[in-house]
Chain A
Amino acid sequence: MPTARSWTDSVADLWHLLRFRTQTVRRPRAAAVASVVLAGFTLAAMLVPPHVGAVAKVGGPEQVVGYLPSMLSGFLVLSIVSAISSGGGRELLPRDQAAIHPITTTTEHLGALVLSPLNLAFLLQVWLLLGATSLVTGGDGWLVGQLLVLLWIAFATALAQAVGWTIEIVRRGERGVAIVRTIAVVGALAAVALHLSGRFVPLLEGGPTRRLASLMAGTRDDAWLAVPVLLVLTVLMVLIGVIPARAALRRAPRDELKVESGIHPARAFPSSDAAMLLRMDRAAVWRSVPMRRGLIVLALGPGLVALVGAMSWGSVMVLPGLVISGGALLFGVNAWCLDGRGVLWRESLPVSPQMVFRARARVLAEWLIGASAITVTLASIRAGVPTVNQAISMATLLVVVTLQVVAVCMLWSGRRPFSVNLRSARATPAPPLVMVGYSSRLAVTTTLTALIFSTASGGGWLWLSPVLAVPLLIWSLRTLRRAEQQWVAPAPRAAVVMTVAG
């Protein structure tokens, strides 16, 4: 029986797997609505900006043209960081399910590319780029501008994916984890040094993205000539990406195997049941490769951006919400999946479900507030000493946003559990489209909350932030209480347990 697969076979396999994923969506109607909404936002980003007068008053197309090269470069840089941190991008099928199928590395590579857009951070940047381009080109060059920016997005995604696989080859090699960590630290330090020397933004603005932006903004006919060039480059980059993908996927995931083969020495007998539950839950989080890696990127990334960009406290206020909502997406939206199939056995132990719930919620809260504290600490280096009002507002914001996110995550975890194995660095706690929905809702809530406290921190009323926090805290505590009641009820809890156990 022939086992070799051609390109066409790999593409056909990709199509079959995508159909399988879409046919096995648990709530097809909700998925269809979400797809229409996403398509609507994309169309709006492409069509609306030239007609919005308010935007023109702020700075107008001329000012946006100046930002466009760095926005295009920024998209590439963030795509590369994302591909590296996710160990090669999303999986078409979870690893344990995919293992029995003859899925080629080419299909894996193409699948990771196709699934890239199902990520809110990616979508937000895409909408921003489409909107900015649309604003810059206006009506005359609109079509070619949109084509060029879409092709740039495709090219940058393919390039980032290829870089992600290449780094994955190194990571899966001898001492690979240490080498990649060193590369990450050196890269971050280089970015800081470039910024401090005033060369970071010129670097982003220079090179091919400046030329691309000028083609978009201009009315010259050669803009059309760039379309086939970018198209060919994108196809080439997709093809080139297969090579590192093949090499990376043939190697064993070293950091995951390190966790599984490593020795975890016995610790002292815990002083209470709650302490034991907390210890088990913390171990499940901190020993997980995707969670640890995700937390590092989330905590350090925005912190470094704030550090390099010398953000003021008013702007820093937005960061904890983003970090906390991002951190929740690592496991919090499906919190019971930490137990994997062990959830059945854990449920047979004589312990009150309230205690189990509270331990899980507390570990999630610790995780989120820890990550955001690192971000705020880094940001504070350049933001300077905050005023008393800013300090009160930030502290209140951290508490409010953490409680908001923990409450809603615990509610979702009980209402819509998924059976997932977070063993792989490429795994996510819920299917991609569901993750987009979760991330959108979390980002909107936390950003709005941050804006409230950012505004409050600018005034002279020290009492304002704590007072504003009261209704938000009451709402979150009520949500958390509802989530706990849902978990404590035997039948819904059994449904969660059976689903998570798979």
Chain B
Amino acid sequence: MIDVRDLHVRFGEVEAVAGIDLSAEAGQATALLGRNGAGKSTTMRVLAGVVPPTEGTVLVGGLDVARDAISVKRLVGYCPDVGGLVPLATPWEHLQLIARLRRIDDWETRSRDLLERFELGDVSHRVTSGFSHGMSRRLSVVLAAFHQPDVLLLDEPFDGVDPIGVDATLDVIADARARGACVLISTHLRDLAMQACTTAVVLRGGARVASMASCELEGEAGADAYRALLD
């Protein structure tokens, strides 16, 4: 479902991603791990069609991101790492925008259901600029998962989220996997990543340094192995 070969992304003289290879399958959840600045969020942005690759091949659902970004965007649901919400729009308006642009019929029932599951039903008609960080993160996950995308990209979905929000996010990931979607999660919370994912890819300095089954990073031994990969 996701096939990345020798991806490079440069911003001027800064090389944010320096030759990443990555693949992720349908029905699986893959954790993207690494230190700050390892290239996780930039890779996610490329997969979401937001940032074009400087070099390399990026296929999402068989479509080349560089050539057909709009079609890729139709397949993908993306929760960005920062903000991700239009400040003076309400959650309902965000969902209405998705429903309109993605041609979703009968969207209101699913909207209400998701907002309730993430405990955002009470604020669905308030602008998001007044939201706490955790509320914003929860809504970003709702927006990414709302249209049941084939590829679900969640960048730091658990950051600052309370346990109920974490559970709701884990449910969304499980639902996506159950219907055959490919899920990619970038996070610094290793335990939650291991709980949600089947495989893990570790990035360092803009390149992949390891790819393994998530169970290999569980427990104390897993933590030591992870630290060793980061240094």
Interface residues of A (CB under 8 A from B): 257, 259-266, 269-270, 273, 276-277, 279-280, 283-284, 287-288, 338-342, 344-352, 421-423, 490-491, 494-495, 497-498, 501-502
Contacts and interface: CB of A to CB of B under 8 A. Distances in A.
29 contacts: A262-B126, A264-B93, A264-B126, A265-B125, A266-B125, A269-B96, A276-B97, A276-B100, A280-B89, A287-B88, A338-B86, A338-B88, A339-B87, A341-B83, A342-B85, A342-B86, A342-B87, A344-B50, A345-B78, A345-B85, A348-B78, A352-B70, A421-B87, A423-B87, A494-B45, A494-B51, A497-B51, A498-B51, A502-B82
Contact of A341 (B71, B84, B90, B102): B84
B83 A349 contact: no
B50 A347 contact: yes
B226 to A, nearest CB: 28
B99 interface: yes
A421 B88 CA distance: 11
B57 to A, nearest CB: 16
Contacts of A276: 96-97, 100-101
A348 B100 contact: no
B143 interface: yes
A344 B83 contact: yes
A337 to B, nearest CB: 10
A216 to B, nearest CB: 48
Nearest to A260: B130
Contact of A259 (B82, B83, B88, B140): B88
A423 B83 CA distance: 14
Interface string B63-89: 000100111011010111011111111
Contacts of B89: 280, 283-284, 342
Contact of B99 (A269, A342, A350): A269
Contact of A260 (B45, B96, B102, B129): B129
Contacts of A352: 70
Interface residues of B, number: 43
Main secondary structure of the interface of A (DSSP, over half): helix
A284 B50 contact: no
Nearest to B73: A350
A23 B50 CA distance: 31
Interface of B: 11, 45, 48-52, 66, 69-71, 73-74, 76, 78-80, 82-90, 92-93, 96-102, 125-130, 140, 143
Nearest to A275: B100
A331 B82 CA distance: 22
A257 B99 CA distance: 29
B148 to A, nearest CB: 14
Contacts of B45: 344, 494
A259 B87 CA distance: 11
Given A263-B125, A344-B45, 4 more contacts: A259-B88, A264-B125, A288-B88, A498-B11
A57 B88 CA distance: 55
A263 B126 contact: yes
B88 A284 contact: yes
Nearest to A265: B125
Contacts of A490: 52, 66, 69
Nearest to A421: B87
Contacts of B87: 284, 339-342, 421-423
B127 A269 contact: no
Contact of B129 (A277, A347, A423): A423
Nearest to A272: B100
Nearest to B130: A260
B50 A273 contact: no
B101 to A, nearest CB: 5
A342 B93 CA distance: 13
Given A259-B88, A340-B87, A344-B45, A349 B80 contact: no
Contacts of B74: 350
Contact of A340 (B48, B83, B92, B125): B83
